[in-house]
Amino acid sequence: MFLKNLSLTNYRNYETMSLSFDGPIQLFIGNNAQGKTNALESIYVLALAKSHRTPRDKELISWDADYATIRSDVLRRYGSVRLELQLTTKGKRAKINGMEQQKLSAYVGALNVVMFAPEDLSIVKGAPAQRRRFIDMEIGQVSPTYLYYLSNYNKVLAQRNQLLKDLAMKKSNSLEMLAIWNTQLADLAVKLLRKRFEFLRKLETWAQEIHTGITDGRERLSLHYVNSSPVTEEMTIDQAVDKMLAAYEEVRDREIMRGSTLIGPHRDDFSLKVNNMDVQTYGSQGQQRTSALSIKLAEIELIKEEVGEYPVLLLDDVLSELDEHRQTLLLETIQDRVQTFVSTTGVEGLKHQVLQQASRFYVREGKISGER
């Protein structure tokens, strides 16, 4: 997977920008607040139709514009694909080879990316919502059906929560309607959970091997799904749906009292353990960073396994956060295999041979100049 070019119109601090790429490593160099992260973010948004930095699309549009557009020609193993994403205050329009996609779930996956930024340490030590977002975004890249299920789950969840609030406020007494929402939500919840279980097992397999290599065999990393419901991997679909429905009945009074759905994928989490010790709570900063790096490198391999080619890697100011050993391991992993975009304030501390051969782009006040 290879981005041949990138064009931006009215994207954050870029009025217009057009670049071509011909090497495996692209360095974006500039001081802070000049637009380096914006450039890398635009590639992420082009791939996933949403930002890793903000849930509000209007923040991606230049303040005096009505829309923003991101375009790129992406070389896939089956040929070249032209992607275009237009962001407006009223929604998004996504095109593949000039054909507008009616659903974003049909668009996401045309370009696969892995983003690694300093804030990605929150995967290890942040709140459960951050890990849920991580797992949803990564599964969504390789499984359009997961995005479809997730979208429907969130719609039904909102309807069910509103009914629970109405029941709590005595605005409704329709337990029959609650039973209908229970059936719909349970079915979607089980579909999401089965995808999550499968994804986490595959991610763990890759992450364990990588983590063992980084630590010279001293540490073993494991990932554990933290489930708010009684559904397990071993259950059949019918068994899991029955368990979920029974769980809804068990907590019904508490849910009505709180006006909120208390169990399901929207409440779940996953934990990371090194040598059976919880890294989030007891791990050193070095162990947390190594765990985060292992997961990110595992993502690259998992996507390659799922789609048959490596994703594009975005390293946003992260190399300065890694010591020389971890930096070297990351760069040797991607060498000559993964097209990589790196943002940095300077190249002085980046001594690895891979980076010395990179194409360099200098960023200043929303303008990018190239030097080969």
- State yes or no: 339 annotated in a binding site: no
Find, among 214, 181, 197, the residue nearest to 296 by Cα.
Answer: 214
Q: Distance of alpha carbon 97 from its chain centroid, rounded?
A: 24
Q: Give the other-Cβ count within 10 Å of 242's Cβ.
A: 15
Do the annotations mark residue 37 as ligand-binding? yes
Q: Are 368 and 362 in contact (CB under 8 A)?
A: yes
Q: Is 34 annotated as a binding residue?
A: yes
Is 36 known to sit in a ligand binding site? yes
Binding residues for ATP: 30-37
Binding residues: 30-37
